[in-house]
Structure 1
Amino acid sequence: MAGFRLGVITDEISQNVEDAIRIAKQYGLDGLELRSVDGKQLHRLSEQRLEDIAAMIHDAGLSVCGLSTPVFKCNLKNKEEVAAHHRLLRRYAQLARRLDTRIIRGFSFWADRDFSAAYPDIVRELQRTVSVLEEYGVQFALEADPSVFATNGSKVAALVQEVSSPWIRALYDPGNNMWDPDGELPYPDAYDALRGDICHIHVKDAVREQGKTEAVAIGMGQVGYERLLARLAEDGYDGWLVVETHYRLTSTLSEEQLKRPAGYGFSAGGEEATVECLESFLNLLGQHGQKIS
């Protein structure tokens, strides 16, 4: 039986780390993934604040399971932007070492043309990251997103396999597939494409009807988590399952908030929605005999 480690992205609950710690402890989670705190992206926090956050998480008996970074959500054709994001990658690699995590989530540049046309340039820029990743001992977890070139599992898999480095792996987010313009199925299609390259998993759910996608509580949408969880257990996955709520009970996150999630406006109403997601997800795990390590 696989022993999944369960986490949550902190700003899906609140911009206050203390709130995320409280919820994580209440629901028996193992870790927290950091994206924005105090209304700021992680790399904009002071050194003292970072030390305080690390101490709070450690003292609560939790791990930092990853850093959700905005790395390579930028214009591939703009050399200055790309150079700035390579510097940002190094900064997050430093933060990962400080916060004792080995996972940095990142992307494949804003989509402004056909994926196949941009493919060689994306591969080149990803290959450029390997020396920094190796220096700091962290993995770059490449995530599919509807706003970037790699919108689904098949495209992420193609990039990861072409780069062919143990430092660049895949982040599997089946919920993101519900927004994929190509319509790739979250499971089994995206999973089968990524299966040998997955180092990290984000968990969200959604419903897609008549060309429109709406986020819902985990297990209430069309991802198919019952079959997916059984398959993960069968395949022996023992990594993180990190809840990334991405919906709110009394409001709707804007396209811009989904594209660039961060800050107080994004987190507003997040605790209630995340609690609903955690309760439904933990119930789903329990129904299928899964355990949290």
Structure 2
Amino acid sequence: MIHLSAFADEISADLDEQIAVLKSENIHFLDLRSVWNTNVLDLSDQQIASVKETLDRQGVGVACIGSPIGKVPIDSSFEEHLQRFERAIELAHILQTRFIRIFSFYPAASKGGEGNQPATYRDEVLNRLKALLARVQSTQLVLLHENEKEIYGDTIASCVDLLKNCEHPQLQAAFDPANFIQCAQVPYPDAYDALQPWLRYVHVKDALANGEVVAAGEGVARWPEILERLRADGYDGFLSLEPHLALSGRYQGFSGPALFRRASQALQQMLQAMGWTYA
């Protein structure tokens, strides 16, 4: 059975309000990206303990650590980034999730022009992803690569390149149709077919042809067909709402309670119309 989750910081910075809106929408999981305007990796041990106690008491699970790992320039200090990654691993264990969302690095901050094209830093991206994988090989954790605009793995071809060349069961794809639209890629069927061998997680948002983010089913991603294909392929993972309806920034989007509910209901109405049971 599929389960619904959400980047709950799209609702509010306040954890209690996040949970209240999730429960009003019958959503029992969240992707933990930030709370109290603080990124998940920067929360103190005390704050994490408070988050866990609150979530446990309210019956809300953590589907994924929505980390910013890999969302830095490729020429930034990797040693410092590895320390943040170790924190992500620690939090995944504490919060009892198998999934950590990652990215595949922005171009070098110190270069421009042709010297900063994806092919010039491909090898370093692969080396860094393999180093991240080495840190989780003794665990049951799965790294979910999100196809984010302007990172190495933003197009279909580059996503397939890194997934094939790392080729590890603990590196899988978080499929984000709207992000592909913003990179002038066709999410369905092109991206779906290409990534299907690695498709382990789905981010739910949509976009118009010009890249403007809209609720699922209102753009050109072909969400009803994506959902039908997921069911036909036996998908039984998370559908995670990441609406970005009020603000779509480089590091975090925002919707607010009302727009989040609109996005949630758009997804749930499609699932109900096709008779796909979810929890």
TM class, shorter-chain normalised? Answer: over 0.9
Shift of the alpha carbon at 1:208?
1.8
Conserved 8 A contact 2:4-2:238:
yes
Shift of the alpha carbon at 1:59?
1.7
TM-score by length of 2: 0.93
Residue type matched to 1:14 in 2?
Answer: S
Conserved 8 A contact 1:157-1:197:
no
Conserved 8 A contact 1:203-1:244:
yes
What is the distance in 1 between the residues matched to 2:56 and 2:157? Answer: 37
Residue of structure 2 equivalent to 1:260:
251
Is the partner of 1:291 in helix, strand or coil?
coil
| Deviation per residue, 1:212-268 (Å, 9 max, x gap) | x211122111111010000000000000000001112xxxx2xxx52111xxxx54x
Residue type matched to 1:205 in 2?
Answer: D
Structure 1 runs (4+) deviating above 4 angstroms are: none
User: How large is the RMSD of aligned CA atoms in angstroms?
Assistant: 1.4
Whether 2:101 is the aligned partner of 1:126: answer: no
Residue of structure 2 equivalent to 1:77:
75
Residue type matched to 2:161 in 1?
Answer: A
Higher relative contact order (CA 8 A, sep 6+): 1
Stretches of structure 1 that go unaligned for 5 or more consecutive residues are none
Q: How does 1:1-293 map to 2 (within 5 A)?
A: 3-78=1-76, 80=77, 82-112=78-108, 113-180=116-183, 183-209=184-210, 213-248=211-246, 253=247, 258-261=249-252, 267=254, 270-293=256-279
Conserved 8 A contact 2:145-2:172:
yes
What is the distance in 2 between the residues matched to 1:6 and 1:154? Answer: 29
| Deviation per residue, 1:9-65 (Å, 9 max, x gap) | 111111111112112211211311111110110121121111111121122222100
What is the distance in 2 between the residues matched to 1:125 and 1:31? Answer: 30
Shift of the alpha carbon at 1:117?
2.5
TM-score by length of 1: 0.89
Shift of the alpha carbon at 1:177?
0.9
Shift of the alpha carbon at 1:70?
0.8
Shift of the alpha carbon at 1:131?
2.3
Stretches of structure 2 that go unaligned for 5 or more consecutive residues are 109-115
What is the distance in 2 between the residues matched to 1:207 and 1:190? Answer: 17
Conserved 8 A contact 1:32-1:64:
yes
What is the distance in 2 between the residues matched to 1:292 and 1:154? Answer: 32
What is the distance in 2 between the residues matched to 1:19 and 1:134? Answer: 36
What is the distance in 1 between the residues matched to 2:105 and 2:97? Answer: 24
Conserved 8 A contact 1:171-1:202:
yes
Residue type matched to 1:258 in 2?
Answer: G
What is the distance in 2 between the residues matched to 1:62 and 1:9? Answer: 13
| Deviation per residue, 1:168-213 (Å, 9 max, x gap) | 1111111111211xx210111111111010121111011023xxx2
